[in-house]
Chain A
Amino acid sequence: MKEDFNHIKKRLRDYESPIHLDEAWEALQEQQQKRQGKWKRTATVLLLLLLIGSCGTCLLLGKRNGSHMPLPTQEVVFQDKDVPVEQQNSSISGASNAHHAIRENATLTQTNQHTTSAVGQSSIASNFSDKPSLSTYNFQKQSSNSSDNTQKTDTSNKNMLSISSPAPAQSSVYEQGPVSGSTSSAVIPENDRTDSDARPLQEKAGNDLTWVAPAPAMPAPWRMWWIDVLPEKTFGMAARPSQTLLLPLVKIDLSPIRPARKTAIRKTVYLSAGALLTQQNFKSRTTEQAEYAALRSRTESGLPGLSTDLGISLEVSQRNYVDLALRYDTWYDQFVYQYEQSKEYTLTNVLLGVVQYEPIGTQVRVYGDTVITGTQTVKATYYNRYAAADLRLAFGRTLWESHRFSLDMTAGMSANIYKKIQGHIADSGLANNVMDLQHMPYKQTLGLGAYADLRLNYRLASWLDLQLRPSAILGLSDALQSNAPSSAHFRRTSLQLGLRTRF
């Protein structure tokens, strides 16, 4: 059988096909040079990307830390209509001394309930301010036995939520009966936010994430675009000043590193989805938050979620490709935190003293109201849903390839272009027990991160692959506002199953 062709085999083996040697050699040399210089170019481009990304992030964060994003400051001032402020202040000491007063027929009423109903939404913030949280409201945990907490009016730190003397009419002395008509009013000044320094939206750049093929005449190997991401409405934070997150996107002209071959560059589109595990690594910036941050980091080591990837790979050589993808992750957490909260109680109808009228020889017992500070254990449960979209630029290489299977590895950078945190806190310390997290000004950051994954492909058809993909994203920048009491870095690992199509 085989021997029938021996003669042809010999003839073809010795046959020299006509070829323009000079031309072929030049093409070969050109290709060889490109291959040699390719790694240098790749490293340079990566460094440039990293540099530009870092500069962009620094610029953004710098602007954010300046006057651009003033933190909300709320002052809740309780005033008694009938008593001057000085008198109220002086009465506080009296009130605190009165803790030791004889308690006769004392009834406890929670002043917080009054204030909650009086000031509405703002009082929710004031209640919430007593416990640590992720928000940029700086919530300081009040010490358990601080009876003098009511005197604290810390106005030096604008981040602190200050409560001044929430003591309704302690100094009023009445005979035989509780105070009536003691009204509290809340004065909540406007936040000193200004929109004047908010950066205007760059509509020209728009939200166009399309990778446009570079014009062939352009000599530069890369160009830069800035892309607006509008956090304001998207993130459901209408109260915040308008701001623009600028995404530095480097467009790389691949033509210089493309092999000079006649065959077209192969493009591979893939879509994959799968399970996600997220680890949140919290870091505390204040001592008050240290315990909380440590506990939360320990607890939230594996938050479940879902991950979706849509990307395109452009082959730059036989085994190497550039990978551009959009990744959307969503994950959930439920975190329980217990803490001690100071609580103010009004004791009504308390015997404050006995007045002795010497000439007559009669005694008059003086009764009145007083406020004492106690503590209570509050259990707060956080229910959060996070969503993040990342734009990923990575370089990939086919490590191994067989008839049906192939194994690829990609590594590169990931830029977070969108983040949303939704949820609520079930808090026994709150009046209505639930707080919507929409009031929490989480930072919608443009976080940079490193990205790596492995892709095991199984060919179902000539144009379709089944893809199994373990991947990891390590957030390099803070997920929360830089001047918040605590910050978080996210580490996301996922295992995805998807489809890959070639064209």
Chain B
Amino acid sequence: MKVISIFSSFREKDLGSILAGCVRKDAQAQRLLFNRCAPRTLTTCRRYETKGLDAKDILQETFLTVFEKIEQYNPEKAAIETWINRIAVNTALKMLRKQQPAWVELDRLPDIPEEAEPEINGLDELTEEQILEIIQELPVGYRTVFNLYVMDDFSHADIAETLGISVQTSKSQFFKAKAMLRQKLNDQKKTAKCMNF
């Protein structure tokens, strides 16, 4: 009964108390933080998921790092979700690099017929799961550049430095990722039409 009451008291407490509990390595506080942030962090992890790298593994590593380095979190600089999200991105990149650094061979990916500034339409009509699926279907190199640039606010210079590629390569990969994304969207629309018939 006592445990339940403590647990419920934590639930009611604000984020500050939870973080303070995490600093003290309190398991209940850690659990609360995990419950609160894990679903969104998993979305980030899924964006970087590959064949050999499971999103749940990234999530696990991310939260292990979070609990380990929680003292370093400064609430004045960023929200806890943003901080955890950045840790998730870094962890995913690290694990990807360890696994198979696919972006080394970015330039060897199949060429996509370049068109002037392809526009992406129709993404808004899709659900989040469908968008995630489409992103996951992109080759690892394209996807990593796309994720970093679009979703995680990296500049091309940052991407180039992080992945060890040139800025120009990063730009061209983003362009190609967009083109492939558009192609996939068109394919999906065609499939949807066929299904309607």
Q: Which one of A171-179, A369-377, A400-408, A448-456 contacts B?
A: A400-408
Whether B97 and A401, one on each chain, are in contact in the complex, defined by CB atoms closer than 8 angstroms, is yes
Q: Which of B40-48, B70-78, B187-195 is the contact stretch?
A: B40-48
Pair B64/A35 contact, Cβ less than 8 Å: yes
Asked whether A15 lies within 8 Å of B40 as measured between CB atoms, the reply is yes
Does any Cβ of A come within 8 Å of B112's Cβ? no
A27 B60 Cβ-Cβ under 8 A: yes
- B interface bracket (residues with beta carbon within 8 Å of A): 35 or more
Which residues of chain A have C-beta atoms less than 8 A from B119's C-beta? Answer: 4
- Closest A-chain residue to B123, C-beta based? A8
Instruction: Report the stretch among A16-24, A157-165, A482-490 that lies at the interface.
Output: A16-24
A24 touches B56 (CB 8 A): yes
Chain A residues whose C-beta falls within 8 Å of the C-beta of B53 in the assembled complex: 263
B163 is an interface residue with CB less than 8 A from chain A: yes
Instruction: Please tell me the size bucket of the interface on A.
Output: 35 or more
Residues of A452-480 at the interface with B, using a CB-CB cut-off of 8 Å, are 459, 462
Decide if A462 touches B104 in the complex (CB within 8 Å): yes
Kindly report which residue of chain A lies nearest to residue B41, judged by CB atoms. A17
With A16-B43, A17-B43 in contact, is A31–B60 under 8 Å at CB? Answer: yes
Q: How far is the CB of B139 from chain A (nearest CB, A)?
A: 14
State whether B150 touches A2 (Cβ < 8 A). Answer: yes
Q: Contacting A32 at CB < 8 Å: which of B35, B67, B163?
A: B67
Mostly helix, strand, loop or mixed at chain B's interface? helix
Do B151 and A12 touch (CB < 8 A)?
yes
Residue pair A403, B63 in contact (C-beta under 8 Å) = no
Q: Is A40 an interface residue, CB under 8 A from the partner?
A: no
User: Which residues in chain A, 228-277, are within 8 Å of chain B measured between CB atoms?
Assistant: 261-263, 266
Say if the beta carbon of B109 comes within 8 Å of chain A: no
CB distance from A268 to the nearest CB of B (A): 11
Contacting residue for B57 out of A12, A15, A35, A261, CB 8 A:
A261
Cβ–Cβ < 8 Å partners of A15 in chain B: 40, 43, 128, 132
Please give, as numbers and ranges, the residues of chain A lying within 8 Å of B63 by CB-CB distance: 28
Q: How far is the CA of A265 from the CA of B43 in the complex (A)?
A: 25
Give min CB distance, A500 to chain B, whole Å. Answer: 14
Q: Which residues of B contact A18 (CB under 8 A)?
A: 39
User: With A4-B119, A9-B151, A261-B54 known to touch, is A403 a contact of B132 (CB < 8 Å)?
Assistant: no
Verify A403–B60 contact, CB threshold 8 A: no
| Assembled-state Cα–Cα distance A403/B160 (Å) | 11
CA distance A17 to B46 in the complex (A): 9
Interface string of A358-375 (1 = CB under 8 A from B): 000000000000000000
Name the A residues within 8 Å of B163 (CB-CB). 403
Question: Which residues from chain A contact B59 at a C-beta distance below 8 Å?
Answer: 24
Give every chain A residue within 8 A of B151 (Cβ-Cβ): 5, 9, 12-13
Within 8 A of B (CB), among A414-468: 459, 462
Minimum Cβ distance to chain A for residue B5 (Å) = 20
Is the CB of A11 closer than 8 A to any CB of chain B?
yes
Contact B31 A17, beta carbon cutoff 8 Å:
no
Q: Which residues of B contact A404 (CB under 8 A)?
A: 164
Within 8 Å CB of B150, what residues of A? 2, 5, 8-9
Say yes or no: A403-B40 contact (C-beta < 8 A), given A12-B132, A29-B27, A261-B57: no
A5-B150, A31-B64 known; A262 vs B54 contact (CB < 8 Å)? yes
Choice from A25, A401, A459 contacting B34 with Cβ under 8 Å: A25
- How close is B183's CB to chain A, nearest CB, in angstroms? 16
- Kindly list chain B residues whose C-beta atoms are within 8 Å of the C-beta of A28: 34, 60, 63-64
How near does chain B come to A62, taking the closest CB pair, in angstroms? 47
> In the complex, what distance in Å separates the CA atom of A459 from the CA atom of B164?
12
Q: Are A14 and B40 in contact, CB atoms less than 8 angstroms apart?
A: yes
Give the contacts of B64-109 with A (CB-CB under 8 A): 64, 67, 85, 94-95, 97-101, 104-105
Task: Kindly report which residue of chain A lies nearest to residue B91, judged by CB atoms.
Answer: A318
Pairwise interchain contact B54-A263, C-beta atoms closer than 8 A: yes
Given A8-B124, A401-B97, A404-B164, do A19 and B42 touch, yes or no (CB 8 Å)? yes
Q: Kindly state whether residue B15 has any CB partner on chain A within 8 Å.
A: no
Let me know if A403 and B100 touch, CB within 8 A: no
* Interchain nearest-CB distance for B118 vs A (Å): 10
Contact (A12, B97) CB under 8 Å given A4-B119, A31-B64: no
Residue-wise interface mask of B (107-130) relative to A, using a CB-CB cutoff of 8 A (1 in contact, 0 not): 000000000010110011000100
**B22 at interface, CB cutoff 8 A:** no
Query: Are A263 and B34 closer than 8 Å at their CB atoms?
Result: no
Q: List B contacts of A24 (CB < 8 A).
A: 34, 38, 56, 59-60
Least distance between A422 CB and chain B CB atoms (Å): 45
* Closest chain A residue to B55, Cβ basis: A17
Chain A residue with Cβ nearest B47: A12
Q: List 28 A-B contacts (CB under 8 A).
A: A1-B178, A4-B119, A7-B124, A8-B124, A12-B47, A12-B131, A13-B85, A15-B40, A15-B43, A16-B42, A16-B43, A17-B42, A17-B43, A19-B38, A19-B39, A21-B38, A24-B38, A27-B60, A35-B64, A261-B57, A262-B57, A263-B54, A263-B99, A318-B94, A402-B164, A403-B104, A404-B164, A462-B101
* Contacts A12-B151, A263-B57 known; 6 new A-B pairs at CB < 8 A: A12-B132, A13-B43, A13-B151, A24-B38, A32-B67, A402-B164
Task: Give the A-binding residues of B (Cβ under 8 A).
Answer: 27, 31, 34-35, 38-40, 42-43, 46-47, 52-54, 56-57, 59-61, 63-64, 67, 85, 94-95, 97-101, 104-105, 117, 119-120, 123-124, 128, 131-132, 149-151, 163-164, 174, 178
Nearest 9 A-B pairs (CB), nearest first? A403-B164, A16-B39, A17-B42, A15-B128, A5-B150, A17-B43, A261-B57, A262-B54, A15-B43
